[in-house]
Structure 1
């Protein structure tokens, strides 16, 4: 169990480092027009916007599944 947790944490840390280095490389070596196309006009908050999008997508899928289950089980009770 601890081995898996260790490797999972190591993978997460490596992923965070790779993403931050890639974003720094893109910011340093890409013309402004291309950088705005890739990262959007608000280049300082790309991570926050991405996380907000992921959370909203997750919540939308969760609500849809919850409604589906409620319809299924509410129909069974009637």
Structure 2
């Protein structure tokens, strides 16, 4: 169990680093109009917004799955 948690954490960290490096490369090597199209107007906080989006998506999926499981258990109990 702890191995899985460790490797998931390593995967998430590598993913965040890869996205950050890719966005830094795009930011350094593209014209301003293209950067505005790809990264949006707030280009300084893209990694934090990406991480925040991932956490929000995870929480929404977790809540949906929890509601589904609760509904299944409630139906079995009745």
The structure with the larger Rg is 1
* Common fold: TM-score over 0.5: yes
Alignment RMSD, CA only?
2.7
Structure 1 runs of 4+ aligned residues shifted over 2 Å read 18-25
When structure 1 is superposed on structure 2, of 57-66 and 25-34 the one drifting more is 25-34
TM-score (norm 2): 0.71
Quickly say closer, same or farther: Cα 1:21–1:68, change in 2 above 3 A: closer
TM-score (norm 1): 0.71
Instruction: Give the unaligned 5+ runs of structure 2.
Output: 1-5
Aligned residue pairs, count: 70
- For CA contacts below 8 A with separation 6 or more, give which structure has more relative contact order: 2
Quickly say closer, same or farther: Cα 1:73–1:20, change in 2 above 3 A: closer
Give the C-alpha shift of residue 59 in structure 1. Answer: 0.7
Aligned twin of 1:53: 53
In the TM superposition, what are the counterparts of 1:1-20 in structure 2 within 5 Å?
16=17, 18-20=18-20
Q: Aligned partners of 1:51 and 1:21: how far apart in 2? A: 14
Instruction: Give the unaligned 5+ runs of structure 1.
Output: none
